[in-house]
Amino acid sequence: MVVMIISFTGCPTGKNPADPDIFNRDNLVAWCIVPFDAMNRTPEERAIMLKDMQISQFAYDYRDSHLASFKEEIHALKNHRISLRAVWLWVEPEGERLLNRTNETVLEVLQKTGTRTELWVSFPGWVFRGSDEENLQKAVKALTEIIVRAEETGCTVALYNHGDWFGEPENQVRIIEAIGSEKLRMVYNFHHGHHHMDQFEALFNLMVPYLSAVNINGMSAGGPKIITLGEGNRELEMLKIIKASGYRGPIGIIGHTDGEDIRNVLERNLKGLERLKRML
């Protein structure tokens, strides 16, 4: 059995505070690069690509068809010294079962391989269609169960904003504070937060104590959802807010496009980030 241990700092300042440049290559996490890759890379090819690009952290997203090679993915990452920062967990309940078959497969592979990482958890909008208080109670109950299951694998949990009630930062902070677990954090994604741009500074300051990662993207009022870094007109001001906030955790670079070689997408975003860094 190959065991991959991923340490979790448990604080939003996981990077050395003496190094204020959180946008350096060694602090970046590749995200949304598995199902969106037109080249359909194997786990080994993907790990080699990341190593060649000097990206040492990776968050794993997937479709059901990819899970057959999840163990292989973990082994390839370990062999090439790529840290598995997080694993996507889209929780779509089946009847009375909170965790569906796909969720159980993810947890089983993590447990069997001894992989300790963070689960980025989100739900489809239909799960939370009650009143605000009903939604909060339902979310607390669901996340409490997920935290217990995550602990069985040695993993932690972060709430992932993916729209709807559950994706609002204020609601995620309320869930975290209601549960009161240090093993529960949150992940903020620019590309699911276009409607937050005008209030981003206040929201980010609210989130900072609980943030585990921030996934960045080009941003413009009115969209589109996915824009290359440096080609939007709002991301620079948002990055300045992040830098000034004291946040020192990882920064996600996304490859969320269709029909492209994902390496080309990542490289465009990396070049855009370098341009933005010169203006920070």
Task: Give residue 105's pLDDT.
Answer: 97
Predicted local confidence at residue 4, as pLDDT: 40
For residue 20, what pLDDT is reported? 55
Helical packing angle, 169-179 and 132-152, nearest 10° = 60
CA distance 68 to 237: 41
Torsion sign over Cα 178, 176, 160, 240: positive
Task: Give the Cα separation of 78 and 114 in Å (integer).
Answer: 12
- Secondary structure (3-state) at 122: strand
pLDDT tens digits, residue range 98-147?
Answer: 999 999 999 999 999 999 999 999 999 999 999 999 999 999 999 999 99
CA end-to-end distance (rounded Å), the chain: 45
Q: Which sign does the torsion angle of CA 217, 34, 118, 11 carry? A: negative
The pLDDT, as a whole number, for residue 16 is 42
Longest alpha-carbon distance in the chain:
52
Render the burial of 125-135: b for 16+ CB within 10 Å, e for the rest. eebbeeeeeeb
Could you give all domains of the chain from N- to C-terminal order, each with its CATH number? Answer: 25-277 (3.20.20.150)
Low-confidence residues in the chain, pLDDT < 70: 1-20
What is the amino acid identity at position 265?
Answer: V
Nearby residues of 199 by Cβ (< 8 Å), 6 or more positions away: none
